[in-house]
Amino acid sequence: MKLYEVFLRAKAGLSHKHVGSVHATDAQMAMQNARDLYTRREEGESIWVVDSTQIISSNPTDKAAYFEPAEDKIYRHPSFYPFDKEVKNI
C-alpha cells in the first residue's frame, strides 16, 4: 500500500486544499478511497490525490533562512506609503 495525500476543491472558484491522506495500491484506488472518505457530505467537487513521496517540502530547520528575510521588507506592503486624506482612489 502506498500513501497518497488528498486535496479537495470545495467549489469552483476556490483552490484545492489538503484534507488528509489515504492508503491505496494505485492511483485509481486512491481516488476512489479519497472520494469515499473525504466527500461524504458534499465537501468537494474536485479531488487531487498525490503520491506522498512526490511531494517536496521545505524543512522546518530552514524556516528562518527561508522566511525571515521578508520580515524587514515592510516597503513591500501598501501601508508603508501613507498619504493625506485629500489623496483619493489610490
Partner 1 sequence: MYSQGLRDSQAGDDLPELLEAFQKRIDAEEKIEPRDWMPSAYRKTLIRQISQHAHSEIVGQLPEANWVSRAPTLKRKLILLAKIQDEAGHGLYLYSAAETLGESRHKMFEDLLSGKAKYSSIFNYPTLNWADAGAVGWLVDGAAIMNQVALCRTSYGPYSRAMVRICKEESFHQRQGYAIMLKMAKGSSEQKAMAQDALNRTWGPSLMMFGPSDKDSTHSNQSMKWKIKRFSNDDLRQKFIDATVPQAEYLGLTIPDKNLKYNDKTGHYDFSEIIWDELFDVIKGNGPCNQQRMDARNKAYNDGAWVREAAAVYAKKLNNKKEVA
Which residues are at the interface with partner 1 (CB under 8 A)? Answer: 1, 3, 5, 19-23, 25-26, 29, 37, 40-41, 52-53, 55, 57, 59-61
Q: Which is nearer to partner 1, 14 or 37 (CB)?
A: 37
* Strand ranges (E), 1-90: 2-9, 17-24, 46-51
In the complex, the smallest distance separating the C-beta of residue 41 from partner 1, rounded to whole angstroms, is 7
In the complex, the smallest distance separating the C-beta of residue 14 from partner 1, rounded to whole angstroms, is 18
Distance between CA atoms of 27 and 62, rounded to whole angstroms? 32
Furthest-apart CA pair in the chain: how many Å? Answer: 65
Q: Which is nearer to partner 1, 1 or 90 (CB)?
A: 1
Distance between CA atoms of 38 and 8, rounded to whole angstroms? 8
